[in-house]
Structure 1
Amino acid sequence: MENFQFWDFRFIDFVDVFLVAILLYYIYKLVKGTVAINIFIGILVIYFVWRLTDYLNMQMLHRIFDGFMKVGIIALIVVFQPEIRKFLLMVGSTNLGGKRRIFKSFNFLKSDIETTTDIDAILSACVSMGASKTGALIVIERNNNLDFLMNTGDETDIAVSQPIIESIFFKNSPLHDGAIIIENNVVKATRVILPVSNEKTIPERFGLRHRAGIGITEKTDAIVLAVSEETGQLSYIKNGEFMMFKDMEELSEKIKKDLV
């Protein structure tokens, strides 16, 4: 009788499975909430069908899927170019020297994590600035480290509060031009210059402020709040896409969920 090998599970096998789980988690996190999630699911379905046809020895169908899998990597690079860029930036910009960031990288292991950023204070400031038609561009850092943008503006260390944000973007303030970057309830930089999106589908009514907000969310996983100087309208930008919320409580819950 052959030995039963099910329990022959080495420590390195556990590490292998664990690392694959982390990789799949971050891939899912990058494509979640975008049209790419449907493509990602479609690729998984094709992969499992490819393996199933091989297992069932369905040679003709397997050859079709096998040919697709061999050239599919080129198609994946084209289709997932923005997501691949974000993933590489996430890996390259992770600050391994900070303990907080290390544990933040593994926050999927915890179910009771809450963001430390005072989102309600930020939204209250945005509503107030919108009423006075004061333009604002607020970038909230998530997993991707945004330190590479620091030299384009002024580095600061100011705790987030409604009066602070409103005073920064006050029209006569020397700090109002450009964006601010917030991390862990701290304004870490002001007057930051963001990369501008060249996407042709952006409505003409949105100016450089909104294009900059789209640009940084296309290149990183940051989220952006933009207040229009012309209309006072508040826009929430994530993954290069606009989202409009009339209910500030709903928007607050959305942002808090995105930051976890």
Structure 2
Amino acid sequence: MDIGFIKITWTDILDIFLVSLLLYQVYYLVRGSIASRVFAGYMLLYVFYLIIKALGLNLMTAILQYFMGVGAIALIVIFQQEIRRFLLVLGRNATITNSRFLSRFFGNAVKNIEAENLATVIEAARSIASDFNGALIVVTKQDDLTQYAETGVLLHAQISKQLLLSIFSQYSALNEGAVIIADGKIVAARCVLPVNEETEVPTSMGFRHRAALGMSESTDAAVIVISEQTGRIGLAIQSELHSNLPVKKLGEMLGAYLYENVIPVTEKVANES
């Protein structure tokens, strides 16, 4: 296909489409963060470099070309968290890693929490919120969270509402940090989670919300976060924080995420509400 003096082939169209898709994915990862401004500045500089090169300004082109080469290395350092997040998204969504047969080779052999236990967790979250006690509850999906569990106190206890309430009581020695739930058990309490430093979190949200976001970015776990000041319940899933959720909505979102659009806990939670 000829457009004026430009000859365009189907490979050129494919090339433009793939570059556009790549730029969109990069923007999606860095949007709302400080790194997004760096990315926008670098793109503007690159466009300026292309214009200078097209005009034939050789000296300026050589200077900018050297700067762009050094800048590429600097971008790897600046965007190391975003690059890691991008690779995690690829690995999480890849067909080969989601295969049940091959999941054991990629560490995805964790069993989903049972619907009855999930309902117990949601009931406990409601009680904790009504008492204005802060909490972080990590519910495992597929990723192995052993490295995070080992930062806290190992329990390997059966899931119960009373135990969760006692852990997050203001008088408990375990109320700081997060509880990790995996394989139908409370694996550990007082765990340290990776904290998000890039996304601009509203001032009304504190350290717990940043930890919930950081955990949802690093793993595929669902993280229930309860504010100690407001008693509001939030849910961090796949790098997104959903705040001020009613108990019924929390059950629906957890059920849909953990059971792939099957919501076995909604009815029980609705009755309890």
- Shorter chain as denominator, the TM-score bin is 0.5 to 0.7
Distance 1:97 1:248, change over 3 A: same
* Distance (Å, rounded) in 1 between the aligned partners of 2:166 and 2:113: 27
Q: Which residue of 2 aligns with 1:152?
A: 151
TM-score normalised according to structure 2 size: 0.61
Deviation string for 1:28-59 (max 9, x for gaps)?
Answer: xxxxxxxxxxxxxxxxxxxxxxxxx9xxxxx7
- Amino acid corresponding to residue 196 of structure 2 in structure 1: S
2:15 aligns with 67
Q: Is 1:194 aligned to residue 193 of structure 2?
A: yes
Aligned to 2:41: none
Does 2:120 align with 1:137? Answer: no
The letter of the residue matching 1:78 is V
1:1-260 → structure 2 map (5 Å cutoff):
60-68=8-16, 75=23, 78-79=26-27, 81=83, 82-88=85-91, 96=104, 101=109, 115-116=114-115, 118-244=117-243, 246-260=245-259
Secondary structure, in 3 states, of the residue corresponding to 2:137? strand
The aligned residue for residue 64 of structure 2 is none
SS in 2 for 1:96: helix
Instruction: Number of aligned residue pairs: give it.
Output: 193
CA distance in 1, matches of 2:92, 2:204: 30
2:143 partner SS: coil
Partner deviation per Cα, 1:121-155 (whole Å, 9 max, x = no partner)? 11211111111111100001111111121221122
Distance, in Å, in 1 between the alignment partners of 2:21 and 2:105 is 34
What whole-Å deviation, never above 9, does each CA across 1:128-183 have from its counterpart, x for those lacking one?
11111111000011111111212211222111111110011111111111001001
- Partner Cα separation in structure 1 for residue 129 and residue 144 of structure 2: 29
- Given that 1:140 and 1:224 are in contact with CA atoms closer than 8 Å, whether structure 2 keeps it comes out as yes
Q: Does structure 2 conserve the Cα–Cα contact (< 8 Å) formed by 1:138 and 1:181? A: yes
Larger radius of gyration: 2
Q: Secondary structure at the match of 1:157?
A: strand
Identity across matched positions, percent: 26
| 1:99 CA drift (Å) | 11
TM-score, length of structure 1 as denominator length: 0.63
Q: Distance in 2 between matches of 1:235 and 1:253?
A: 13
Matched residue SS, 1:180:
strand
The whole-number CA distance in structure 2 between the counterparts of 1:200 and 1:184 is 31
SS at structure 2 position matched to 1:204: coil
* Post-superposition offset of 1:87: 4.1
Cα deviation, residue 120, structure 1: 1.8
CA distance in 1, matches of 2:113, 2:174: 30
Task: Pick closer, same or farther for the CA change 1:131–1:114 going to 2, 3 Å.
Answer: closer
Alpha-carbon distance in structure 1 between the residues aligned to 2:12 and 2:108: 48
Residues 170-210 of structure 1, C-alpha deviations (whole Å, 9 max, x = no match): 11111111001001321111110001101342101111111
Give the letter for the 1:65 counterpart: I
Unaligned runs of 5+ in 2: 2-6, 30-82, 260-273
Task: Give the unaligned 5+ runs of structure 1.
Answer: 1-52, 54-58, 105-112
Query: Which string of whole-angstrom CA distances, capped at 9 and with x for unpartnered residues, describes residues 47-74 of structure 1?
Result: xxxxxx9xxxxx7251431432675686
Between the aligned partners of 1:185 and 1:173, the Cα distance in structure 2 is: 23
CA shift for structure 1 position 240: 2.1
Q: Kindly state the Cα deviation for residue 97 of structure 1 after the two structures are TM-superposed.
A: 7.8
